[in-house]
Amino acid sequence: MIGEIIAIGSELTSGRVLNTTSRFAAGLLFGAGHDILSMATIGDTPAEISKTLLRATKRADFIIVTGGLGATSDDLTSEVVGQALGRPAVFHPEIFDKIKARHVKADDGDLKTLKKLAVLPTGAEILNPEGKMAGYLLVHDSKPIFFLPGVPHEMQELLADKVIPRLALWQGGEANLVKQRVYKVFGLGETEINRRVAHLEREEDGRVRIGYYPVFPEVHLSLAVIAGDRANIEKIFQHLEDEVKTALGDALFGTDDDTMESVVGELLLSQKKMLATAESCSGGLIGYKITAVSGSSNYFAGGVIAYSNDLKEKFLGVDSDLLARHGAVSSAVAKAMAAGIRSKTAADIGLAVTGIAGPTGGTLEKPVGTVFIALSTPDETIDIPCRFAGDRWQVQELSAVTSLDLIRRLLLGLKLQIC
């Protein structure tokens, strides 16, 4: 079914509050096989509420309206809806009794305000008789319109427990099955990924959906299949997933909730390896990413933010001659830093990064974005010279994620010269 979501509240259109409920609803509905045509966010304005709702009834198979159901003066949904759909709002004493029972300490003034919660459009079917604020269903032109409170957790509960099952019944159990997975890629651009997998969308009569979501510096790819029956969907999905995996190769580092740092953490843990870092231009970002994963103390010893040459010498034992001869931003110094942090901490892997994040500090020979990464193991110390494009934030981010990807590649025996 095709749906529209309408969120009502001037706190949303003034930017004061972020609308998270529409996104939650869209995700749940999409996963249940429905398509969302449009998500409208509008203020507490009668004319706009009325217009948006009437327009939606002409286009969508179902409508979700959130917000504006409270007791304060700017909550107008029930009143406006009653007028717009020709269903005058009526007082429900049985609802008001329940409200009174929950507000035993309320004085007459409070009760007068709360009375509004029991005034609903004619024909409203209450979805949550025990709720603080009524959520209800109106059927208009044979289409279901669900009115839900804007409070995120009340709305989410009603949506999952009442709305999704009602929609499934609406179609007589014919709802489509959807299977979706997200693939996370580092080292391939959106356009290159698009080129490699776009043909899959033409398979299976338009029942395959591929989305590209760049989350700098990664690209996330969403694969969804819509099918009629469970056996069929699993078979189709497996085939498409195999194709996606082949197309992405070793640039695919994880799926769904994986992050680069969680993937690296799991590899270090399963291979019982300790990591230590020596960061210059990334300034601590690699350490921060690694320690953002709970339990990282099991595989991360720590490291040095060797921002000055002095600290490179003192903490990492980098030779002052070497610094003078090659400069702090060089393969030689990166290797000395990686070997240094490994030997000082007795870690299994030493990782080092030194570079020019910009916007100043670049030279003709070593422009902004020049970054040297090195990995040191008991067997060898390898340098990976990189040149990244972007502003300071991007160069730091690329330095950190490339470094983590290199540890992943080292532990999986993949190609290391990726820059």
Q: Which two tokens stand for residue 206?
A: 């338009």
25 sits near its own copies (criterion: CB under 8 A): yes
314 sits near its own copies (criterion: CB under 8 A): yes
53 sits near its own copies (criterion: CB under 8 A): no
Grouping H, G, I as helix, E, B as strand and the rest as coil, residue 63 is strand
Q: Out of 37, 54, 139, 269, name the contact with its own copies by CB under 8 A.
A: 37
C-beta closer to its own copies: residue 178 or 374? 178
Closest CA to 354 of 289, 275, 279, 277: 279
- Give the per-residue contact string, 378-407, with its own copies (x = CB under 8 A; - = no): -----------x--xx--x-----------
Q: Which residues of 262-276 are buried (b: 16+ CB within 10 A; e: fewer)?
A: bbbbbbbeeeebbbb
Give the other-Cβ count within 10 Å of 203's Cβ. Answer: 14
Number of residues in the chain: 419
- Contact assessment for residue 385 and residue 368, using Cβ atoms and an 8 Å cutoff: no
Part of the chain binding its own copies (CB under 8 A), chosen from 123-131, 228-236, 247-255, 302-310: 302-310
By CB under 8 A, what part of segment 328-357 binds its own copies? 344-346, 357
2 sits near its own copies (criterion: CB under 8 A): no
203 sits near its own copies (criterion: CB under 8 A): no
By CB under 8 A, what part of segment 219-248 binds its own copies? 222, 224
User: Is residue 194 classed exposed, middle or buried when 0-12, 13-18 and 19+ CB atoms within 10 A define those classes?
Assistant: middle
**Residue that the structure tokens 């609802």 belong to:** 95
Q: How far is CA 57 from the centre of its chain?
A: 31
46 sits near its own copies (criterion: CB under 8 A): no
262 sits near its own copies (criterion: CB under 8 A): no
Closest CA to 379 of 290, 273, 304, 299: 273
**Residue that the structure tokens 């309320």 belong to:** 106
Give dist(CA 287, CA 276) in Å, integer: 9
Q: Out of 19, 77, 402, 403, name the contact with its own copies by CB under 8 A.
A: 19
By CB under 8 A, what part of segment 93-132 binds its own copies? 102, 109-110, 113-114
**Residue that the structure tokens 């990334």 belong to:** 282
Helix H or strand E encompassing 180:
strand 177-185
Give the other-Cβ count within 10 Å of 189's Cβ. Answer: 13
Q: Out of 270, 308, 363, 417, name the contact with its own copies by CB under 8 A.
A: 308
364 sits near its own copies (criterion: CB under 8 A): no
Q: Out of 91, 125, 271, 288, name the contact with its own copies by CB under 8 A.
A: 288
Q: Out of 305, 332, 414, 416, name the contact with its own copies by CB under 8 A.
A: 305
* CB of 304 vs its own copies, minimal distance in Å: 6
216 sits near its own copies (criterion: CB under 8 A): yes
- Contact assessment for residue 260 and residue 254, using Cβ atoms and an 8 Å cutoff: yes
48 sits near its own copies (criterion: CB under 8 A): yes
**Residue that the structure tokens 């990244």 belong to:** 388
Give dist(CA 63, CA 241) in Å, integer: 33
By CB under 8 A, what part of segment 134-193 binds its own copies? 151, 182, 189-192
16 sits near its own copies (criterion: CB under 8 A): yes
363 sits near its own copies (criterion: CB under 8 A): no
Part of the chain binding its own copies (CB under 8 A), chosen from 60-68, 229-237, 273-281, 369-377: 273-281
Q: Out of 46, 54, 72, 246, name the contact with its own copies by CB under 8 A.
A: 72
C-beta closer to its own copies: residue 113 or 331? 113
Half-sphere exposure of residue 204, counting CA atoms within 13 Å on the CB side?
Answer: 18
Q: Out of 83, 291, 331, 377, name the contact with its own copies by CB under 8 A.
A: 291
- Contact assessment for residue 353 and residue 281, using Cβ atoms and an 8 Å cutoff: yes
